[in-house]
Structure 1
Amino acid sequence: MTDNPAPAVTRTNPPFASDEATMLTSWLDFHRATLALKCDGLTPDQLRERSCPPSPMSLLGLVRHMAEVERHWFRRYLNGEDLGPTSRYWSEAYPDGDFDLVEDADVVADTAAWQEDVAYARAAVKDVPLDTVAKLPRRGDEVTLRWILVHMIEEYARH
């Protein structure tokens, strides 16, 4: 018997055979759950801890980064919401603020923001065709929802 309680987060393996949209969203949810599992049960100080100097990487920084990525790809680009020029965590003065400025960050609020952005993203793609086109406003490029989902899988998996 172990002293550690069972994790509060569960991770479901993607199906081996399914339609493309289900496969892509299942893999994205798998990687979202992987990040949640890595954070599960850690203290705020543990979440702020840097992996290995000089890297600014911490689990909290990654949560904050992924909240921004979810927010921008699904709200700004897919649904065309005007989020203004600001970010929750970074600015011109601190372009990597999501990773760098974690010492005084509110772990509960930042984790809640990430979960809200994930919930929004799940709802935003439900029953939306994969060939739906999104615009990247600053560059004028077009990408499909399929591309966004693959990119999001890549974002989670590479970190």
Structure 2
Amino acid sequence: MSNLLAKLISMKYKGKSNIKEYIMEISNLASKMKTLKLELGEDLLMHLVLISLPAHFRQFKVSYNTQKDKWSLYELISHCVQEEERLWRDISESTHLSSTSQNKKRKKTKGAAEGSFQQKKPKKDEEFTCCFCKKSGHMKKECPKYATWRVKKGLLVEPTAK
């Protein structure tokens, strides 16, 4: 009897097996204890199961404790299976999100290593290329087409002739 009780109290769900099988194993130990004239109430059995669940079932435990209704063992199994499925779904979604975000980071890092995200400073003997008209020999701030465009848009007063 003491061995069964020690095993029952020390059991922890590690997530390696099915939670339904785990709860049924606890119930089986409790029924063996019942044959030895030590009956555990269903409420006590419920709390033993909840205590043995790992930390990622914390939200589930809180929701059980805040409800007025008490579940039967079969209802607990049903709710635990649903919660386990939800947790696995969340884990797979977060794994997918983290793997896709890591791929994006790798692409950006690779581009930065190649210099595609870095601005190149022209050397003294290199020609400048205007990013407005795409002609070489001047920069945007010195571009006559850019100055004309700004006057046309009303962003700049037309320069006076010197």
Give the TM-score normalised by structure 2.
0.30
Which has the larger Rg? Answer: 2
